[in-house]
Each structure stands twice: as C-alpha cells, then as structure tokens.
Structure 1
Amino acid sequence: MDERSGPWWRGVTGYQWLVFAVASGAWLFDTMDQRLFSLARIPALGDLMALPPSHVEVQAFAKIVTALFLVGWGLGGLIIGPLGDRFGRVRLLAISILLYSLCTGITAFCRTPAEFAALRFVTGLGIGGVFGLAVAIIVETVDGRARLAMLAGLQLLSTVGNVGSALVKMGVDDLARHDLIAAGSVWRWLFALGALPALIAIVAMIGLREPQSWRDRKAEGRLPKGAFGAYVDLLGNPAERRGLLIGSLLAVAGVVGLWGIGEYAVDLQHAVFTAYYDGRLAPDAAKAAVTDAKNWAYMLQMAGGAVGMLIFTLIADRVGRRPAFLTCFAAAFVVTMFVYARMQTPTDAYWMMPLMGAAQFSLFAGFSIYLPELFGAAARGTGVSFAYNLGRFAAAAGSFGSAWLSTSLFGGFDAPDPLRYSAMTMCVIFLIGLAAAWFAPETRGRPLPA
C-alpha cells in the first residue's frame, strides 16, 4: 500500500515519539535561549556597566557580545558535530544541552561585563552543538514521511521557542510592574529561567539510546578515527564535499538573511513606530504604543514563519527540495526588499512582517530536511553541523557589515533611511542562496547516503 494513503504518523512507535520530543525540545529551548539573549542583553549590560541602556558604550559592547555569542555558536557546531559522530550523538546532545542551559542560568549571577561576555561565548558553544546532532538522531531513528514531518516539526517548534521567550519576557516584566521582583533584576530572572532545559538533558541520558546505525558502525570498527576523524571521512568523499559546499552556501545565505537582515527589522520598527505615534499621542502613551506595536509585529512575524515552514515542507514533499529552495530564496529576496522599502506605519508591519517571516523562516525547514540527506551516516552529524553553523560566522560579520552600512555608507540619510538601505543592500545574500539552490542535487525520493 502507498505510504501516502494514510497519515504520516501511522506506525510511529512510542520510542520514536520520545526521540522527536527530546530532539525538538532541545532545539525549542535552544531558540528560546537565543531570543532571551536578544531581549535581555542591553538591559543586562546597562546594569553591569552602570550606564543607561541607550549609552553608546553599552550599545557598542552589546555588538561585541553578540559577535562572541555567534562565534561560540559556530565553533560549537564545528567541534561538537564530529565528536558526536565519534563518541555518540545522544551523549554529545545531552552535553550540549547541559552546557547551554547551565551557562545561561549562571549568567543570572554574573557581576561584570567581561563575565557576561565569556558566559555567552560558552553558551554559544552548547547551542551550536544541538541542531546537527538532533537532526542526525531523528534521521537515523525515523523513516519515510514521518522523518520529513518530524524534521520540519523540529524547525517549526523554533518559532514556538521564539514566541515563548517573548511571553516569558512579558510575564517577568509584569512581575516587576507589580513590585514582586526588582525592576533592575528582570534580566537576571530571564537568564535564570534559561537553566530549565537541563531537565531535557537528563531525559536524553536516561531515555534515549544511540541510533542502531551508529551502534553497528561501532561494533564493526567503522567509526571515524579520532575526535575529528569525521572531517577526514567527509572531505575524502567527492559527493559529500560537493554536498558540504552546497549545503554551506544555502545555510550561510539563510542564516545571514535572518540574523544580519531580519533581526534589524525591530530597529526599523522602532524608528517607524516612534515617528508615527509621536505626533499622535502623549510621550508616555506613545512609548507604550510603540512597545505594544513591536510585540504584535513580532508575534505575527513568528506566525508567518510557521506558515512558511509548512509551505516549504509541502513543496519539498510534493515537488522536490531544490524547487522548494528556489521558490523560498526568491520569495525572501523580493519580500524582504519590499518590506524594508515600504514599511511606514504599524498597520503596514502587521501584514508585512508575517510575509517576511514566512519567506525567511521557510528556508530553515529546508535546512533540517535537506542537509542530512547530503551526507553519509558516518559523518552526518559533522556535515549538518558544519554547513548549518558556518553561517554563524558569516552572520557575525554580517552584523558588523550592516552596522557599517547604516552608519558610514548611508549615515548621511535621515532616520530610518540608513536602516532601510543597509538591509536592502544586504538582501544580495539571498541571491547567493538562489544560485546555490540552482546547483543543488535533488534528494527527494532517494535513499539516505549509506
């Protein structure tokens, strides 16, 4: 009987559901941690530096910390991926979760900006290890349409993590407004709550076992030689070298597009919404209206992101992975250019941000579905981690590049024009992804590389 005649979840075992729950939960809280950092970094550094959050030194050091976080994230993927291929993916996934969750919790107690920066770098190492390992474990535990659905679901839940972080921030802010916690300690409470995913690591260590294919390779003595031997296996195979190049270009374009362009939509919104409300409301009411409008725009962007991931999955399943990437990179270029060129009011943001979220986040469903199909079992965790996390280094450079464009090249324009023009200039990265997708091998309907 054709497996498409029934629902994809038919035949999924209880253990496979547990694997999905642990892997996707690890990634959900991973993305929540990322977003909590974005929300709390400026207040935290303002407190630690004893300066107003808007002070130029706080803003400058925040960029350095963000870059360190992204570099740690990238290094974590490059280091932990091959360690998982050699010593066990479940074991290294649990270590990665513990690393990012415990370091996030410890951040709540730091006393200096240097401690804050160091802890965010180490947190990034743990965060960088999660995606490649989580994807590899699902791929080697689940088959057929259930595998594609779970891989897409893992990435879809990242939007839940992003929204969850915003809700947590709103809840902690509400506690501060009611004097249940000190207003200046909000950022510390946010990081303290980030330690909770350590419970998932315990479940992984107790409830999961290494995939059968990994255990078979271990019994036969076919695991990578040495801690980083997976790179030798990966680079020694011409097909996998090509897959690594294509996968890395796709991921770099998508990650830079989100972190180097999409993240700056918040800055554009702040400028546009402030200009819109300043002439219509009293100062305090205008400030509150700007905050509310930014929150709504973000929630709608995440909702659009979830829809975009579902659309990518549908195209990838019915037509192919390559057409899905071509469609979504083209959409990301056109929609992002349009949004940055035309957003003028909160009402604009309420329908534009879901479109931009759908276009940009759709690509990330593709990374979880497509990247593991490019690599053989021996170095799959390494290949996925390398390709996906290489984009973090590019994103760190993209953050500085965007800052240079907005302050130097376009700095002579009236606000918010520098933000618009720098973001529109950086949209060229989506064209690089489009070119990489054109040369990408189609993997739909083909067995995973052995």
Structure 2
Amino acid sequence: MNDVVTESYSPSVPSHRWYSRLTRKHWLTLNGAFLGWIFDGYEALALIMVLPALMHSVLTPGQMSSLPLYAGLVIGITLLGWGIGGLVGGVLADYVGRKPMMMWSVLLYALLTGCTAFSGNLIYLCVLRFLTGLAMGSEWSTGIALIAETWPREARAKGAGFLQSGFGWGTLIAALIWYALSVYDPFGADNWRVMFVVGALPALFVLYIRRGVDESEQWQQAVRNKQWSATGTSDASNRPTKRPFTLKQVFSERESVRRIVLTTILSIVTIVGWWAVSSWLPARTAELAALEHVVNASHWISSVSIVYTIGAILAYMLSGFIIDGVGRRWYLFLGFTGSLATTVLAYGWISSVEGMLAIAAINGFFTLGCTFAWLAIYPAELFNASVRSTATSFVFNSARLVAWIFPILSGSMIKSFGGVSHAALVFGSVYVIGMILPWFLPETKDIGLPEDLDSLNAHATRS
C-alpha cells in the first residue's frame, strides 16, 4: 500500500507512456461515463435548438406576445433543476456510491426527457423540464469522480478530457439530427417531439452501466479508513471517528473553503461567460444575415452552431494533454484569455456571416471547450475521495444556480445594452476574473490525489 501511495504522489513524471497502465476495465469505466455525458450534451442542446418550434406548440395565442420571456423561463427552470439535482446527487454519491447515482440519474432523466415529447401546455412543460434537470444533475460529478479515482495519475487528466468531450459529441449529434429534421421535415410542426423521443434512449444504457462499470475502490477505501479531511491537509490525529456531513465538512476546513470559493467563482465565470456570450452567437449570426440580406439565414445559423461545437470537441480531446503540459493554472489563464479575445473578435470585429463561420470554431475551442474542460479535471484533484463528488458538484452546480436567471433576463439585457454585440462584450469582461484567480490555487500537475497525501499523513501519525 505504501509503495502505491508513494508512486501516485511522486512529483516526478512517469517514464512510461501515459496509456501504458490503462486496462480494459479503465476504458469500460470511461465508456460508461462518456455515454452518459453524450446524452447530457444532447439533451442540453436539443432543448435550445427546438425551442422556437416547441414554444409555438405549447403557448396559447395570448402567451405568444411574450414568447422570449417564456422561452427563457423554460431554459432557466431546466438549469435550476439541473443545479439543485446536481448538488443533491453529488452529496448522495459520496454516501451511496458513484455507480448507483449514475444509474438512477441516467434512467430518470431519459424517461423524463421522453415524456417531454408529449408536452401540450406551458405548465406541463416547465414541470417536466425542472424534473429532468433534477435527474440529470448528478451525472456530471459522478462521472468525474469515477475517472479521477480509477484512472492512473499520468492518464487521469486525459481521461477527464475525453469524458468532457462526450458532452460536445452529444451537442453535435443534437445539432445534426435537428438539421436533418429541418431539411427533410418528416413530421412538420411536430419535428421537435422526435428530438425528445431520441433523448429517451439512454434508459437502455443503464444495462451497460450495470455490467461494465465498477464502483470506485478509492472512494470505498477512503470511507473505510475514515479519511474525512476534505483536502488531505488536516491533522489525521484530530479527525472525528463519526463521519461528518460531507457538505459541512467541505466548509469546515480553512484550506477547503479557500479552494471551493475560488473554484466556484471560476465556475461562475465559465457558466456566465457561456450563457451571456456564446449562447448569443446564433442571434448575432441572424443579425448579420439580416443586415446582409442573406438568403437562407437558418442555414448559416446551423452551420455556425455545428462548427462552434466541433471547435469545442477538439478542445475537450486535447485538454488533458495541454493541461498536463502547461499545468493547471497556466491552462486556466490561457483558456480564459482566449475566451476574452475570441469574444472581442466575434462581437466587436466580425461583420459578416462568413466571418462568423470562420471564427466559430476558435470561439468554441475556448468559450465552450477550454473553459469547461478544466471543471472535469482540476476540482477533482483538490478534494478527498470521501467528499469529492460533493465538492465538485458544488463547484459546478452552484454556478448553475447563479446562471439560471440569465436565459430569462437575456432579452431585456440585450435591449438594455443596445443589442447583442454590446451586451456580449460587456459580459465577456467576466473572463478577466478567470485570468487572475487561478494563481491563488495550488498547482496539482504531476501530484497525487488528496487521499494519497491523507494516507501518508495517517501512516506518519501511526508511526
């Protein structure tokens, strides 16, 4: 045991290739979490893409006059459920295990997404979107915890980057399916219902999780050994024998509070930056198309969305390699710097749909790719296995609880700032915060997880 801990915590870079210690079981675990994230990404973008058609089906003629408000409400209430569900599910995963929470999350959100296809009015739709968000929330933190705790140190960041790419692949699949439905128009005004029926397919995926994914041994060991320290930095001799409530434990240690506050602010920067900047790219593309009197503006909007998503997927696939090369803090600094620069380019310099298409992949690489990939890699390295799911879900989902109001207010914000471009440039300045805060966090490149340090401290205390 001591040999394993020493090797995993050693700051030296392994001499073997990053994938040399990966086994079939490691890849099965990644596949299990990856497929879940594909459907997370699919579900998230499907709602945004079908929203105009969906709202025309569920709103009454009187409600149509306030369509932007109701459309924002549907997205916002989904994000609210997603945030609450993520917090609750993250805590439960630290008590009942990663695998059970993943199974229930996938099953419930698949069934509820399928039920969305039968929405006939706004109230029914909003209730289903909130419940779907609740079910979907815990999928994120359980997948991250599984990869962090099962993959070898030299491959951990790469595996987390591959996992994050599942979300990107899911959004790309949603964009392509909706594009095909728009072109061939098989069900007319009810095409949007097909998108949610497809979203019910993950229910079958639960069978794969039961067979292919094992529970995290590292989490089980941390609980057995009563490793309650949130960051592995507290005195092992002073630790309670009874397990504290995980959320309370995260906020009971000075170092843990510092880490979770800083990473949560960075998460808010990421989420707010995306919702207040990148989600307006289609609207900006539509504006440019109208100014240029472009024929078939919807084609350009779809093309920009697809190219943007491809840029993000590329960033996800490369993120583990980049972050292991330059370190966590430099990665965050460069990612947020790139996001700020591409925001200025997209909204302050580009003046044609052709230019927007050209910049879309670069914008997606940074604002959706780099600035989200760190959330799958870095927070898991800052907290112990006994509270890892709780901490990472808090970092990500508390940001959702802040961001859920943006879709509802987006219409009025755009109007207040004098258009999409001005609003995006103002809110894009939030990325400056993301360039500063990483330097106040610990560098975890080539370092073992906190439970490894915790084991060393406990061993030294016993000696």
- TM-score if structure 2 supplies the norm length? 0.87
Aligned to 1:390: 398
Instruction: Work out the CA distance in 2 between the residues paired with 1:319 and 1:207.
Output: 34
Give CA deviations for 1:48-77 in whole Å, capped at 9, x if unaligned.
Answer: 224499x43222211111111111111111
Counterpart of 1:114 (choices 106, 114, 123) is: 123
Counterpart of 1:236 (choices 252, 264, 268) is: 252
Counterpart of 2:197 (choices 158, 176, 192) is: 192
Seen in structure 2, the aligned counterparts of structure 1 residues 423 and 400 have a Cα distance that, compared at 3 Å, is farther
Higher relative contact order (CA 8 A, sep 6+): 2
Counterpart of 1:10 (choices 5, 20, 44) is: 20
Seen in structure 2, the aligned counterparts of structure 1 residues 6 and 56 have a Cα distance that, compared at 3 Å, is farther
Could you tell me which amino acid in structure 1 is paired with residue 289 of structure 2?
F
Give CA deviations for 1:204-243 in whole Å, capped at 9, x if unaligned.
Answer: 1333231112223454566899999211221122222111
The answer to whether the aligner puts 1:99 opposite 2:108 as a matched pair is yes
The answer to whether the aligner puts 1:66 opposite 2:75 as a matched pair is yes
| Deviation at residue 402 of structure 1 after TM alignment | 3.9
Give CA deviations for 1:182-220 in whole Å, capped at 9, x if unaligned.
Answer: 312111111111001112222213332311122234545
Question: Any conservation in 2 of the 1:42–1:59 contact (CA below 8 Å)?
Answer: no
Question: Any conservation in 1 of the 2:102–2:138 contact (CA below 8 Å)?
Answer: yes
1:144-223 correspondence runs (5 A): 144-176=153-185, 181-219=186-224
Query: Secondary structure of 1:110's partner?
Result: coil
Question: Any conservation in 1 of the 2:247–2:390 contact (CA below 8 Å)?
Answer: yes
Instruction: Work out the CA distance in 2 between the residues paired with 1:405 and 1:174.
Output: 33
Aligned to 2:33: 23
Question: Any conservation in 2 of the 1:40–1:187 contact (CA below 8 Å)?
Answer: yes
Structure 2 spans left out of the alignment, 5+ residues: 1-6, 230-240, 452-463
Aligned to 1:349: 356
Instruction: Work out the CA distance in 2 between the residues paired with 1:266 and 1:57.
Output: 20
Q: Please, what is the CA RMSD of the aligned residues?
A: 2.4
Aligned to 1:283: none
Give CA deviations for 1:293-339 in whole Å, capped at 9, x if unaligned.
Answer: 11221222122223333554333211210011011111111210221
Aligned to 1:322: 329
Question: Any conservation in 2 of the 1:259–1:395 contact (CA below 8 Å)?
Answer: yes
Query: Secondary structure of 2:404's partner?
Result: helix
Aligned to 1:362: 370
Percent identical pairs in the alignment equals 25
Could you tell me which amino acid in structure 1 is paired with residue 198 of structure 2?
L
Instruction: Work out the CA distance in 2 between the residues paired with 1:5 and 1:51.
Output: 67
Seen in structure 2, the aligned counterparts of structure 1 residues 344 and 407 have a Cα distance that, compared at 3 Å, is same
Query: Secondary structure of 2:150's partner?
Result: coil
Aligned to 2:443: 442
Seen in structure 2, the aligned counterparts of structure 1 residues 226 and 195 have a Cα distance that, compared at 3 Å, is farther
Counterpart of 1:249 (choices 256, 265, 269) is: 265
Could you tell me which amino acid in structure 1 is paired with residue 218 of structure 2?
S
- TM-score if structure 1 supplies the norm length? 0.89
| Deviation at residue 357 of structure 1 after TM alignment | 0.9
Give CA deviations for 1:21-68 in whole Å, capped at 9, x if unaligned.
Answer: 011111111011000011112211211224499x43222211111111
Question: Any conservation in 1 of the 2:78–2:133 contact (CA below 8 Å)?
Answer: yes
Instruction: Work out the CA distance in 1 between the residues paired with 2:120 and 2:322.
Output: 49
Question: Any conservation in 2 of the 1:172–1:190 contact (CA below 8 Å)?
Answer: no
Instruction: Work out the CA distance in 2 between the residues paired with 1:333 and 1:174.
Output: 35
1:123-138 correspondence runs (5 A): 123-138=132-147
Structure 1 spans left out of the alignment, 5+ residues: 279-285, 411-417
The answer to whether the aligner puts 1:403 opposite 2:403 as a matched pair is no
Instruction: Work out the CA distance in 1 between the residues paired with 2:315 and 2:67.
Output: 35
Could you tell me which amino acid in structure 2 is paired with residue 449 of structure 1?
P
Could you tell me which amino acid in structure 2 is paired with residue 199 of structure 1?
L
| Deviation at residue 267 of structure 1 after TM alignment | 0.5
Instruction: Work out the CA distance in 2 between the residues paired with 1:213 and 1:111.
Output: 46
Could you tell me which amino acid in structure 2 is paired with residue 172 of structure 1?
L
Instruction: Work out the CA distance in 2 between the residues paired with 1:166 and 1:318.
Output: 32
| Deviation at residue 97 of structure 1 after TM alignment | 1.0
Query: Secondary structure of 2:118's partner?
Result: coil
Could you tell me which amino acid in structure 1 is paired with residue 138 of structure 2?
G
Question: Any conservation in 2 of the 1:86–1:226 contact (CA below 8 Å)?
Answer: no
Question: Any conservation in 1 of the 2:158–2:319 contact (CA below 8 Å)?
Answer: no
Question: Any conservation in 1 of the 2:311–2:363 contact (CA below 8 Å)?
Answer: yes
Could you tell me which amino acid in structure 2 is paired with residue 392 of structure 1?
R
Instruction: Work out the CA distance in 2 between the residues paired with 1:217 and 1:312.
Output: 28
Instruction: Work out the CA distance in 1 between the residues paired with 2:92 and 2:242.
Output: 9
